[in-house]
């Protein structure tokens, strides 16, 4: 751990580019407490997590503007219609071209009217799939050229279960 006097000052952490430092900051503000098993446990029922006031560069870091701006409730950010939202786990590689990978958590909103180009969860003859809705050609398109589009025939039973509004991916192996 970094010494608090080198990492923190009155406006927040100085170098929060890494998850490590971000967790350190959360511990510093007592958002989490460390358990003996190294699990981070929220110390409050407040679901807001600090949101940095600037974007995070994926190239060279710029520590000049790395300050916590305001708290963010991740649930409020991801879920706009709680009563009509569900989560689904992606499986397979047919949507990688749209940034959806096997294991991703999909946030699906049933309250939204599906539109041309939306990523949707569709039930075709009782089988669920995640594809892009192409209303012009009456197709469900994959995000991988190895998978052909699914034609929407008049006699097929098609139910759009919802619109995928977000996908959440872990970048570290879960144990």
Q: Are 117 and 132 in contact (CB under 8 A)?
A: yes
Q: Is 94 annotated in the active site?
A: yes
Q: Which of 36, 38, 80, 131 is catalytic?
A: 131
Q: Is 33 annotated in the active site?
A: no
d(CA 109, CA 161) in angstroms, rounded, equals 8
Q: Which of 38, 94, 102, 167 is catalytic?
A: 94
Please report where in the chains the tokens 């995640």 appear, as a residue.
130
**Which amino acids are annotated catalytic?**
94, 131
């Amino acid at each position: 751990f970094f010494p608090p006097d080198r990492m923190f000052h009155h406006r927040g952490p100085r170098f929060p580019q890494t998850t490590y430092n971000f967790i350190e900051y959360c511990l510093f503000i007592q958002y989490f407490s460390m358990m003996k098993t190294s699990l981070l446990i929220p110390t409050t029922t407040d679901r807001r997590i600090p949101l940095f006031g600037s974007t995070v560069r994926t190239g060279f870091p710029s520590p000049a503007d790395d300050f916590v701006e305001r708290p963010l409730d991740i649930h409020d950010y991801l879920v706009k219609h709680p009563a009509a939202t569900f989560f689904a786990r992606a499986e397979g590689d047919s949507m990688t071209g749209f940034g959806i990978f096997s294991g991703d958590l999909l946030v699906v909103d049933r309250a939204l009217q599906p539109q041309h180009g939306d990523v949707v969860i569709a039930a075709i003859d009782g089988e669920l799939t995640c594809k892009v809705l192409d209303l012009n050609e009456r197709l469900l398109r994959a995000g991988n050229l190895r998978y052909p589009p699914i034609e929407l025939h008049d006699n097929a039973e098609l139910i759009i279960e919802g619109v995928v509004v977000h996908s959440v991916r872990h970048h570290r192996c879960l144990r």
